[in-house]
Amino acid sequence: MTAMSAASDLDPIDHLHELLEAGDDSALHAFLDTFSHGSDIADLLEQLDEDDRVRVLSALAPEDPGLAADALSEMEPDEHPEESLAALDPHDIAAVVAELSDDDAADMIGEMGPEDRDRVLAALSHEDAGDIRDLMAYDEESAGGIMTGELVIVGTGLTAMQAIAEVRRQAQNMAEFYGLVFVVNDHEVLQGTVSLNSLVTADPDTPVHGMVNEPIAVVLPDTDQEEVGRIVSRYNLTIVPVVDTAGRLLGGVTFDDVIDVIEAETTEDILKFVGVSGEEEIRGGWWDAVRSRLPWLMLNVCTAAAGATVVLVYEETIQALTFLAVLMPMVAGLGGNSGTQALAVTIRRLALSTETAEQRWSIVRKELLVGLGNGLVIGLIVSGLAWTLEGNPLVGMVVMLAMWMNLTVGSFAGAFVPIMLERFKVDPAVASSIFVTAFTDMCGFFLLLGLATKFLM
């Protein structure tokens, strides 16, 4: 077997480790040349330590700075690609940043420490550094923070032929061009857009101002990134323009950045939903995870103690009717699941739609009816099981009522709690699940033990 065929049998990351250990730069270049997309190299970089990442990027940047830029931009933010960028020599930094879209460059440089940030900006041209500083001035979770200034912009006084020439000139220096041309007046106020297809098919002497379509939507630079995502999704836009209060065009948010925003926001909401801080890195260390999760678990201790107090009150009933100990987790658990289902649907609806107060409360009414229906069916099934095991129809009745009522309570709470938290300006994804679970546990124990005390003691 030849050395080349043996290497091809290795896993790519194992092969890369071997090349790095051997210090064979020519073989490393040849290996990197086999990759045509930055995301593939990003996957490899994320499995290396920082020193090896810099060695790979230092080998790649002089030969193909565009691929190095793609790899850095495709890395997960938790992997801190900005640290690898800052570790390159100034010439490679300038080459790589020149290939990054300006919004990606601003995000990456904005994550650096002050010294690294100044050193990286010093390696760039005065114009590029100024553009990046302008973008870094915006909140990173706003439209300004995720917008790009790389737009094709033409004036209203041009003809179609002149506009095509301007498109050709401007697009040569852009990382991506989405086929949409923005039209502004002499004061840089956005007039609308015209598609490249319209310019190409129009008579060469046709004035651009007669071809302009009003923008479907525009956003201000301080618009929250989630709202930008909703607008792009609602109108199926490839890019949404960002304007100032006077209507002057500042930049645009492209759909690929919106996808990244949606992914980040969804991840954050999922973590919050289960009581984990959105600041915890997915691949972070165990100590960071402990610090992030422990406060929520401490709060859970308090809510669980409230449920335990209900059990303590009915201690004599449990001692007399020991079979209740088997039924308690069923009643509480199913009520909690009912609440979690309603909670997930409600939070998603709150996040994705803008509704009136009346429409908000219609969610509660709907979930209340869902709880009544599901509770009746589940209650009858479980009560039949309890009746069969204990041979007492009263036991079946008690279990049926407790299960029915607790599933109803769970569905109601799953919709009511997040709506109330949102009304009091509290993120419903953060605290809802803890309160809903505590409420259904308390109600489930109280209903089952209370009804058993009334009818079976």
Q: Which H or E element spans position 155?
A: strand 153-155
Place of tokens 């990759």: 35
Position 8 scores a pLDDT of 47
Name the E strands within 163-321. Answer: 180-184, 190-195, 239-243, 249-254
Question: What Cα–Cα distance (Å) separates residue 53 from each residue in 93, 140, 284, 406?
Answer: 14, 26, 18, 55
Is the domain of 210 the same as that of 132? no
Token readout for 220 is 């201000």
Question: Does residue 269 fall inside a structural domain?
Answer: no
Question: Does residue 293 fall inside a structural domain?
Answer: yes
Is the domain of 130 the same as that of 198? no
Number of domains into which the chain is organized: 3
* Residue 258's CATH number: 3.10.580.10
Which residue among 137, 170, 185 closes a domain? 137
Is the domain of 196 the same as that of 338? no
Is the domain of 160 the same as that of 128? no
Distance CA 240, CA 227 (A): 12
Is the domain of 223 the same as that of 363? no
Which residue among 198, 233, 264 closes a domain? 264
Question: Does residue 260 fall inside a structural domain?
Answer: yes
Is the domain of 309 the same as that of 423? yes
Is the domain of 255 the same as that of 329? no
Q: Rounded to an integer, what is the distance from CA 134 to the centroid of its chain?
A: 25
* Residue 349's CATH number: 1.10.357.20
Is the domain of 358 the same as that of 294? yes
Is the domain of 231 the same as that of 314? no
Distance CA 152, CA 185 (A): 14
Token readout for 386 is 């309890």
pTM above 0.75, yes or no: no
Question: Does residue 144 fall inside a structural domain?
Answer: no
Is the domain of 416 the same as that of 392? yes
Position 389 scores a pLDDT of 81
What is the pairing mode between strands 190-195 and 180-184?
antiparallel
Rg (CA), the chain: 30
Which residue among 104, 137, 170 closes a domain? 137
Question: Does residue 244 fall inside a structural domain?
Answer: yes
Distance CA 282, CA 59 (A): 29
* Residue 90's CATH number: 1.25.60.10
Position 159 scores a pLDDT of 94
Nearest to 134 by CA among 239, 218, 250, 256: 250
DSSP-derived 3-state class of residue 451: helix
Angle, in degrees to the nearest 10, between helices 38-45 and 12-22 = 70
Distance CA 192, CA 206 (A): 16
pLDDT tens series, the chain, 457 aa: 333 444 445 688 888 888 888 887 788 888 888 887 888 999 999 999 999 999 999 999 888 898 999 999 989 888 889 999 999 999 999 999 988 888 889 989 998 989 999 989 998 888 889 889 989 999 988 999 999 888 999 999 999 999 999 999 998 877 778 889 999 999 999 999 999 999 999 999 999 999 999 999 999 999 999 899 889 988 989 999 999 999 999 999 998 888 887 777 776 666 666 555 555 555 556 777 677 667 777 877 887 888 888 889 999 999 999 889 889 999 999 999 999 899 888 887 877 666 676 777 888 999 999 999 999 999 999 999 888 888 889 999 999 999 999 999 999 999 999 888 888 877 776 668 888 888 899 999 999 999 999 998 7
Q: Are 220 and 244 in contact (CB under 8 A)?
A: yes
Position 4 scores a pLDDT of 41
Position 274 scores a pLDDT of 58
Is the domain of 326 the same as that of 445? yes
Q: Are 69 and 42 in contact (CB under 8 A)?
A: no
Question: Does residue 58 fall inside a structural domain?
Answer: yes
Question: Does residue 271 fall inside a structural domain?
Answer: no
Place of tokens 């904005």: 110
Question: Does residue 29 fall inside a structural domain?
Answer: yes
355-364, long-range: CB < 8 A, 24+ apart: 360/419, 361/419, 363/415, 363/419, 364/412, 364/415, 364/416, 364/419
Q: Which domain holds residue 196?
A: 153-264
Is the domain of 132 the same as that of 163? no
Position 202 scores a pLDDT of 93
Position 256 scores a pLDDT of 85
